[in-house]
Amino acid sequence: TILYMLAIASNGLLLLVITMDIRLHVPMYLLLRQLSLLDLLFTSVITPKTLLDYLRRENSISFGGCALQMFLALTLGGTEDLLLAFMAYDRYVAICHPLNYMIFMRPRVCWLMVATSWILASLSALGHTMYTMHFPFCMSLEIRHLLCEIPPLLKLACADTSRYELLVYVTGVTFLLLPLSAIVASYTLILFTVLHMPSNEGRKKALVTCSSHLTVVGMFYGAATFMYVLPSSFHSPKQDNVISVFYTIVTPALNPLIYSLRNKEVMGALRRVLGKYVLPVHPTQ
């Protein structure tokens, strides 16, 4: 409950600050705003249902509800996965090609990145949800997992799922390892550029910005790779639940804090917005 409230408050506040402060209407913060929106929606798909089940002592979900939850989780998770790769490209252009930044990252390109992330993730999620839910579930009706996800549901199927498991693995590699490779390549080039910067202040600012992004990337991709790329022999219900809690509840709560607390521009914008709309000062005459 505490983590969910933190995720709602921190992501909502970051969304408000980036929207209200015109100084943050640049490509980097446009992508960051999308990340906050995704985190807010992602945790809201899972956590309220989990909390209600705990309070009511009724750990049940309908077949349609399970399919909807799976589709939304896969869509939001896949979109965030691709968006993080585009954010790495944004940092690469900003640091390695600063003079051409507003050409390579003009608003139309940014919105194309966002739309591409949403569309590809939605199509993949729709296909996986429909195919997963078409299996007959006659072995058990108990999902030993925090939410409706592909790996725990396939364990309940009484049909041969080996080919589909291979497809899930291939999709996982495509959606996770390819963007991760692009992120690693971007930050390798960034590192070489930063090390050759003459200004210590510029070098420090670039490293702080990039380290925040790499922290988020490590948390998200580490958990998602464990769930969707590692073979089923490496999985256990207890382990899978811990990993799911991490990337559906913990990570969305921490992401805005990681980005905002170490970012002077965001903290400055936060003070301006709070000072203007929350704590107005009326000087005495």
- The 10s digit of each residue's pLDDT in 201-230 is 767 767 777 777 788 888 888 888 877 777
Query: What does the angle CA 127 – CA 124 – CA 111 come to, to the nearest 5 degrees?
Result: 140
* Mean predicted lDDT score pLDDT of the chain: 85
Rounded distance between C-alpha atoms, residue 249 and residue 51, angstroms: 12
| pLDDT surpasses 60 at 247 | yes
Rounded distance between C-alpha atoms, residue 130 and residue 116, angstroms: 21
| pLDDT surpasses 60 at 281 | no
pLDDT (average), residues 248-268: 80
pLDDT of residue 65: 92
CA atoms in the 13 A half-sphere facing the CB of 175: 30
The domain made up of 1-278 has a fold known as Rhopdopsin 7-helix transmembrane proteins (1.20.1070)
Amino acid at 12: G
- Alpha carbon distances (Å) from 222 to 47, 56, 81, 164, 246: 21, 33, 11, 23, 10
Structure confidence by residue, pLDDT tens digits, 179-189: 989 998 998 88
Q: Which of 32-36, 81-85, 260-264 has the lowest mean pLDDT?
A: 260-264
| pLDDT surpasses 50 at 249 | yes
Token reading at 175: 């959606």
Token reading at 80: 């965030």
Containing 181, the helix (H) or strand (E) segment is helix 178-195
Q: Are 31 and 113 within 8 A, CB to CB?
A: yes
Structure confidence by residue, pLDDT tens digits, 66-98: 999 999 999 999 999 999 999 999 989 988 898
Rounded distance between C-alpha atoms, residue 115 and residue 267, angstroms: 28
pLDDT of residue 127: 93
Q: Which residue, 59, 114, 15, 221, is CA-closest to 7? A: 15
